[in-house]
Amino acid sequence: KQEVTQIPAALSVPEGENLVLNCSFTDSAIYNLQWFRQDPGKGLTSLLLIQSSQREQTSGRLNASLDKSSGRSTLYIAASQPGDSATYLCAVSSQDQAGTALIFGKGTTLSVSS
């Protein structure tokens, strides 16, 4: 059964720092991996989608990498800003549950201070 873990659970950094959020999954047989952002009490905003055949995706100050064989993904945020404060969720589409749903980690809550 696929499980997704995110470390750390919470992270506080000063504005301007570069930071890395980690995601690991137990079964490397995935179709894709998605990173989402969730503001308190709100829905999810898709940040980046990496297909299983890809190694990384970039959008603005965000870069996500995928190492399927080791079951790891990282989300790199450059030059962090207070507006980046939110919970970041990693989710995989697992081949053992094709079409079922995304399997989510519990998220990393990021706080960027000015």
How many angstroms separate the Cα of 86 from the Cα of each of 9, 45, 105?
12, 11, 15
Q: Which is nearer to another protein, 65 or 94 (CB)?
A: 94
Q: Are 105 and 89 in contact (CB under 8 A)?
A: yes
What is the rounded end-to-end Cα distance, in angstroms, of the chain?
41
* Strands of the 4-7 sheet, one edge to the other: 4-7, 19-25, 72-77, 62-67, 56-59
The single residue among 44, 56, 62, 74 that binds another protein, judged by CB under 8 A, is: 44
76 binding another protein? (CB under 8 A): no
Q: Which is nearer to another protein, 80 or 103 (CB)?
A: 103
Q: How far apart are CA 45 and CA 84, in angstroms?
A: 12
The single residue among 18, 106, 111, 113 that binds another protein, judged by CB under 8 A, is: 106
The single residue among 3, 12, 42, 67 that binds another protein, judged by CB under 8 A, is: 42
Binding mask 9-38 for another protein (x = CB under 8 A): ----------------------xx-x-x--
Positions in the binding site for another protein (CB under 8 A):
31-32, 34, 36, 41-46, 49, 89, 91, 93, 95, 97-107
